[in-house]
A and B are shown apart, each in its own frame.
Chain A
């Protein structure tokens, strides 16, 4: 079955860029049936949508993060990535990648999440 796996540094210094990758296994990111998303969750808080990408490269970002976020896709590696620039302690969170059906708009598959701490 399809699985998602986040990877990347667990510690990022303030003002630097957070970079994460989500690897898709068991299925093709280019199927055209799904959006591929990033969601984060600060400790003890709720879920915040960061943005999404389609295999074609089309993106949509949360307006509150738009100036700092870039999501990209590498269909040859079956991966999509998140870059968040100028990070602060407020960006410390568990970061999840997730899949959304293009027709039904719910997150039907999630990665296990990766904890990213912003600290010097």
Chain B
């Protein structure tokens, strides 16, 4: 059971837009802690996709964008490409219990 809740799966056709939600609470996202997103192609290590809610590291296409509002955050991918098929994880900080970084359960994106 993850502190941050993501849908298990989403799908879209090439060229379409998909969004992946990350729902938290007032001890993490709602408390103002930043949200970060990772992409993990099966069989490989995760890579940082979005940091600090809506910032792309160098080399990440601008088709990827992030947003945050209240106790939730979202990752949007426009102009879907076959290479975007992967697992996506959100991550933030949670101040409950001993306080630490937490991950969402992950969302599998299927490009139809």
A residues neighboring B (CB under 8 Å): 46-49, 60, 62-63, 96, 100, 104-113
CA distance in complex: A104, B44 (Å)? 24
> Could you tell me which residues of chain B, from 83 to 101, have a CB within 8 Å of some CB in chain A?
89, 91, 93, 97-98, 100-101
The answer to whether A105 and B89 have CB atoms under 8 Å apart is no
User: Are A106 and B46 interface neighbours, CB within 8 A?
Assistant: no
Q: How far is the CB of A17 from chain B (nearest CB, A)?
A: 23
Seen from chain B, the residues whose Cβ lies within 8 Å of a Cβ on chain A are 2, 33-34, 36, 38, 44-48, 51-52, 57, 89, 91, 93, 97-98, 100-106
Cβ contacts under 8 Å, B97 to chain A: 63
B101 surroundings in chain A (CB, below 8 A): 49, 100, 105
Residue of A nearest to B104 (CB): A46
Point out the residues of chain B lying under 8 angstroms from A62, CB to CB: 100
The list of the 8 closest CB pairs from A to B, nearest first, reads A106-B36, A110-B45, A46-B106, A47-B103, A106-B51, A46-B105, A113-B45, A108-B48
Chain B residues lying within 8 Å of A46, measured Cβ to Cβ, are 2, 89, 103-106
Give the distance in Å from the alpha carbon of A111 to the alpha carbon of B44 in the complex. Answer: 10
Bound complex: CA A111 to CA B45 (Å): 7
- A48 in contact with B103 (CB, 8 Å): yes
